[in-house]
C-alpha cells in the first residue's frame, strides 16, 4: 500500500490556518504529500504590537505554496487574519469553488504572549483570546457548513497546546485560550458526528518554531525559579525540541482514515512531558 493510499487523503481538500511557517507549513506540505489539495491562510503580518517574536511574512507563505506544489498538489493561499470573518468565509468559498470539496480543517493559527495574569494589558489578553480561541471558532464557523454540504464526512484538527491540558505560570491568557479549544473540540465532535465529521485536538509541547523565545523564557525562569517546575523535560527527548514535521505526522494521521474511530479526543504531542 502506498503512503497516499494508507491515509485515504488522495484527492481530498484541506484548509490549514497559520500556514506560512512553523507547524502550519509542515501540516500543509505533509497533507499535500499524502495527496490533498490545500487551502492555506496566514496573517503574514504582526497580529499585534504586543507579540514580541518576529511575524510571518508573505514570503513565508510563498515558501509553503512552493512546498505544496512540489508534491504536485494544488494550493490556494491567501493572507487572511482568522479574526476577519468575511475574509475567512471568502477564502473557504473560493477554495471550495476551485477544488470542489472540503474534507479536512487544521485550525492551527495562534499567538503566544507572556505575563502574569494580573499584569497583562487589555491588548495582550484580547489578542491571544481573539486569535487563538475566537479565531478558531471563526475558522470552524466558516468551514463546517462547506464540509456538511460536500457530504463526505471529514476530520477537523484543533491545535491546542500542552497549556490546554496543564496550565503554566506566566501565560495564563494563552492557557485560557487553549483550554477553551478543548471545549470547542468536544462540543463540535458531538454536533458534527451525525455528518461523519470527526473533531480532535492536539496538544503539542516545546516545538521548535519562531514562537518559542528562549531568552524570554530564561528571564521568566530567572525572575521566578519556581515556575521552572511547570515546564518539565520530555522523557523521550530531555534536551531538545519536537520538530514541526513530527507534529505534522500526527496531524496527517488524524486527518486520515487510520484514526477513523477517534473523535472528541485530546492528543498530547509531547514526548511524554505531560506525564511529569
Ligand atoms: N511552538 C510550540 O512549542 C507550540 C506548543 C504548543 C502549541 N503551539 C501552537 O501551535 C500553533 C502553531 O504555532 P507555531 O509553533 O508553528 O508558531 P509560529 O508562530 O511559527 O506559527 C503560527 C502561525 O500562525 C500565524 N498567525 C498568527 N496569528 C494569526 C492570525 N490572526 N490569522 C492568521 N494567521 C495567524 C502566524 O503568522 C504564524 O505563521 C499555534 O496555535 C500555537 O499556539 C505551539
83 lines ligand 1 (CB under 6 A): yes
Q: Could you count the other beta carbons within 10 Å of the beta carbon of residue 276?
A: 13
21 lines ligand 1 (CB under 6 A): yes
18 lines ligand 1 (CB under 6 A): yes
Q: What is the pLDDT of residue 7?
A: 87
| Cα gap 247→253, rounded to integer Å | 10
Mean pLDDT to the nearest integer, 28-35: 98
179: annotated active-site residue: no
Q: What is the pLDDT of residue 70?
A: 98
Cell reading at 47: 497580529
Cα(128) to ligand 1 centroid in Å equals 11
95 lines ligand 1 (CB under 6 A): no
Cα(2) to ligand 1 centroid in Å equals 31
Q: What is the pLDDT of residue 1?
A: 62
Strands (E), the chain: 13-17, 37-42, 75-79, 104-107, 154-159, 197-204, 266-269
CA separation, residue 106 to residues 38, 219, 232, 255 (Å): 11, 33, 27, 8
Q: Is the dihedral of CA 224, 230, 264, 107 positive or negative?
A: positive
92-145 pLDDT, tens per residue?
999 999 999 999 999 999 999 999 999 999 999 999 999 999 999 999 999 999
Task: Work out the percent of the chain whose per-residue pLDDT is above 90.
Answer: 96
Cα(139) to ligand 1 centroid in Å equals 14
Asked whether the predicted pLDDT for residue 3 surpasses 80, the reply is no
17 lines ligand 1 (CB under 6 A): yes
What mean pLDDT, rounded, does the chain reach? 96
Q: What is the pLDDT of residue 15?
A: 98
Cα(62) to ligand 1 centroid in Å equals 17
Dihedral through CA 246, CA 252, CA 253, CA 258, nearest 10? -160
Q: What is the pLDDT of residue 124?
A: 98
| Cα gap 40→23, rounded to integer Å | 13
181 lines ligand 1 (CB under 6 A): no
Closest residue by Cα to atom 7, ligand 1, is 161
Asked whether the predicted pLDDT for residue 33 surpasses 90, the reply is yes
Q: How confident is the model at residue 2 (pLDDT cuts 50, 70, 90)?
A: low
Q: Which of 174, 179, 205, 276 is catalytic?
A: 174
Q: How confident is the model at residue 240 (pLDDT cuts 50, 70, 90)?
A: confident
| Cα gap 155→103, rounded to integer Å | 7
Asked whether the predicted pLDDT for residue 4 surpasses 90, the reply is no
Q: How confident is the model at residue 78 (pLDDT cuts 50, 70, 90)?
A: very high
Asked whether the predicted pLDDT for residue 206 surpasses 90, the reply is yes
Cα(201) to ligand 1 centroid in Å equals 15
Vertex 221: Cα angle to 131 and 175 (nearest 5): 25
157-205 pLDDT, tens per residue?
999 999 999 999 999 999 999 999 999 999 999 999 999 999 999 999 9
Amino acid at each position: 500500500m502506498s503512503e497516499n493510499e494508507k491515509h485515504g487523503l488522495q484527492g481530498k481538500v484541506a484548509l490549514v490556518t497559520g500556514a506560512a511557517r512553523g507547524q502550519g507549513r509542515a501540516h500543509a506540505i505533509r497533507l499535500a504529500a499524502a495527496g490533498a489539495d490545500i487551502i492555506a491562510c496566514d496573517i503574514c503580518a504582526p497580529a499585534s504590537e504586543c507579540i514580541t517574536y518576529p511575524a510571518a511574512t508573505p514570503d513565508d507563505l510563498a515558501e509553503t505554496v512552493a512546498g505544496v506544489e512540489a508534491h504536485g498538489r494544488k494550493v490556494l493561499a491567501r493572507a487572511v487574519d482568522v479574526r476577519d470573518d468575511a475574509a475567512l468565509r471568502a477564502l473557504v468559498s473560493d477554495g471550495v469553488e476551485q477544488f470542489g470539496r472540503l474534507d479536512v480543517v487544521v485550525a492551527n493559527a495562534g499567538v503566544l504572549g507572556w505575563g502574569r495574569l494580573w499584569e497583562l494589558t487589555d491588548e495582550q489578553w484580547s489578542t491571544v483570546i481573539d486569535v487563538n480561541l475566537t479565531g478558531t471558532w471563526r475558522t470552524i464557523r466558516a468551514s463546517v457548513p462547506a464540509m456538511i454540504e460536500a457530504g463526505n464526512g471529514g476530520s477537523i484538527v484543533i491545535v491546542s497546546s500542552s497549556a490546554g491540558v496543564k496550565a503554566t505560570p506566566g501565560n495564563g491568557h494563552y492557557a485560557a485560550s487553549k483550554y477553551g479549544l478543548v471545549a470547542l473540540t468536544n462540543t463540535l465532535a458531538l454536533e458534527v458526528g451525525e455528518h461523519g465529521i470527526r473533531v480532535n485536538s492536539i496538544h503539542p509541547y516545546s516545538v521548535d518554531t519562531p514562537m518559542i523565545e528562549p531568552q524570554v523564557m530564561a528571564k521568566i525562569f530567572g525572575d521566578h525559579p519556581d515556575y521552572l517546575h511547570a515546564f518539565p523535560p520530555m522523557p523521550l527527548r530531555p534536551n531538545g525540541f519536537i520538530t514541526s514535521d513530527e507534529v505534522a505526522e500526527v496531524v496527517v494521521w488524524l486527518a486520515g482514515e487510520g484514526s477513523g474511530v477517534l473523535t472528541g479526543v485530546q492528543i498530547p504531542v509531547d514526548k511524554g512531558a505531560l506525564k511529569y
